[in-house]
């Protein structure tokens, strides 16, 4: 809690106490009140009690420790790609994905007025690296230096705390209202179909049988055997069984760069004969497979 800027601490304290009183309704998110994770939690479950956490690890630990029943975590953005480190954190957390949510993203520039009441020009803009990447054309065109911060709304609170009129924050509009900043510009994201995909995590996985008859997704990680064409053969498991793979990303395990782990999403869930057969065939070509969860599909895929 005390890693947040001072202007955010009172709100963080209030929200933490509310979640502590009813952890079954609590949904942990990374960031200060007013960030996109906060928005996603309330839009996904309007009756939840959002629990702000300083880091992604803190949000996952809140679920593991029983402070929250669920966490909502961003994993990829349509414009700026995957969220750094999340592919390492999810498998290590021991939690299961139980849902997904797609949040349209729009950013505002916000700042404190100067002594004469004017706002800007700005030398630096503070925000999460994802937000800075999603607004890079706007910042570059104005010669504003991007400065990374832990989260978008926390950056707004930081700008308020510093009191420097030459600094601005890139954050959701609500952050300006929460931290007493003036909105200078809105809709500054470089693509106006900007969307972030969040996943919902809990201690217990959904029973795949509960997904029968619905459009479902399954997420898993796997490491193929160290032999020629192993990945080609592994992916053939899905092609030959008619299972659609919607996402495949690789990342390195350890510093040797000798073992590559793959993160994948497929349509369907265990219990579907095609999915079951595909996973059995995949196992033949792999050192390790770990299912991270099956859950309802939130968005129809073309």
Of 169, 162, 100, nearest in space to 131 by CA? 169
**Candidate list 98, 196, 219, 261, residue with the active-site label:** 196
Q: 162: which residues sit within 8 A by CB, 6+ positions away?
A: none
Alpha-helical (H) ranges within 27-128 are: 36-44, 56-64, 86-93
Spatial separation of the C-alpha atoms in residues 44 and 210, rounded to whole Å:
20
Which distant-in-sequence residues (6+ apart) come within 8 Å of 55 by Cβ? 30, 150
3-state secondary structure 203-253: CCCCCHHHHCCCCEEEEEEEEECCCCCHHHHHHHHHHCCCCCEEEEEEEEC
State CA 272 to chain mean position distance.
28
State the Cα–Cα distance between residues 296 and 5, nearest whole angstrom: 37
**Is 246 a catalytic site residue?**
no
In angstroms, rounded to a whole number, what is the distance separating the alpha carbons of residues 191 and 113? 28
Bond preceding residue 121 cis, omega within 30 of 0: yes
Distance, CA of 179 to CA of 33 (rounded, Å): 10
pLDDT digits over 219-248, tens only?
999 998 888 888 999 999 999 999 999 999
Output the CA torsion sign for 208, 205, 83, 22: positive
Our answer to whether residue 198 is catalytic in this structure is yes
Question: Taking 80 as the threshold, does the pLDDT of residue 206 lie above it?
Answer: yes
Residues 6+ away with beta carbon under 8 Å from 227: none
Judge whether 84 and 76 are in contact, CB under 8 Å.
no
Question: What pLDDT, in 10s, does the model give residues 98-150?
Answer: 999 999 999 999 999 877 778 889 999 999 999 999 999 999 999 999 999 98
Select from 298, 275, 279, 274 the least CA-distant residue to 290: 279
Q: What is the full DSSP assignment across 62-73?
A: HHHTTS-SEEEE
**pLDDT over 60 (residue 17):** yes
Kindly tell me if the per-residue pLDDT of 49 is higher than 80.
Answer: yes
In contact, 72 and 101? CB cutoff 8 Å? yes
The enclosing H or E element of 9 equals helix 6-21
Q: Which of 4, 29, 56, 198 is catalytic?
A: 198
**DSSP character for 145?**
E
Q: Which residue has the tokens 């924050």?
A: 169
pTM: 0.91
C-alpha–C-alpha distance, residues 97 and 292, integer Å = 6
Confidence tier at 252 by pLDDT (50, 70, 90): confident
Q: What is the pLDDT of residues 169-180, one digit of tens each?
A: 999 999 999 999
Strand partners of residue 36: none
């Amino acid at each position: 809690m005390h890693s947040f800027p001072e202007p955010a601490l009172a709100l963080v304290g209030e929200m933490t106490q509310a979640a502590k009183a009813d952890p079954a309704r609590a949904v942990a998110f990374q960031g200060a009140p007013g960030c996109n994770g906060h928005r996603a939690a309330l839009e996904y479950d309007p009756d939840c009690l959002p629990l702000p956490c300083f880091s992604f690890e803190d949000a996952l630990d809140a679920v593991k420790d029983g402070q929250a029943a669920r966490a909502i975590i961003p994993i990829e953005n349509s414009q700026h790609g995957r969220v750094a480190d999340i592919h390492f954190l999810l498998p290590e957390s021991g939690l299961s994905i139980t849902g997904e949510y797609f949040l349209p993203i729009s950013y505002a520039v916000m700042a404190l007025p100067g002594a004469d009441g004017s706002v800007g020009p700005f030398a630096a803009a503070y925000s999460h690296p994802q937000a800075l990447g999603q607004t890079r054309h706007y910042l570059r065109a104005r010669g504003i230096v991007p400065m990374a911060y832990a989260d978008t709304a926390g950056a707004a609170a930081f700008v308020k705390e510093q009191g420097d009129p030459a600094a601005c924050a890139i954050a959701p509009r609500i952050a300006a209202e929460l931290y007493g900043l003036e909105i200078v510009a809105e809709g500054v994201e470089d693509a106006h179909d900007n969307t972030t995909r969040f996943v919902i995590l809990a201690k217990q996985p959904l029973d795949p049988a509960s997904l029968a008859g619905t459009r479902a997704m399954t997420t898993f990680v796997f490491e193929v055997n160290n032999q020629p064409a192993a990945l080609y053969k592994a992916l053939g498991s899905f092609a030959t069984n008619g299972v659609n793979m919607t996402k495949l990303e690789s990342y390195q395990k350890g510093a040797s760069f000798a073992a590559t782990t793959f993160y994948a999403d497929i349509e369907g869930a265990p219990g579907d004969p095609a999915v079951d057969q595909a996973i059995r065939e995949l196992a033949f070509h792999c050192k390790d497979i770990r299912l991270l969860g099956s859950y309802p599909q939130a968005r129809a895929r073309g």
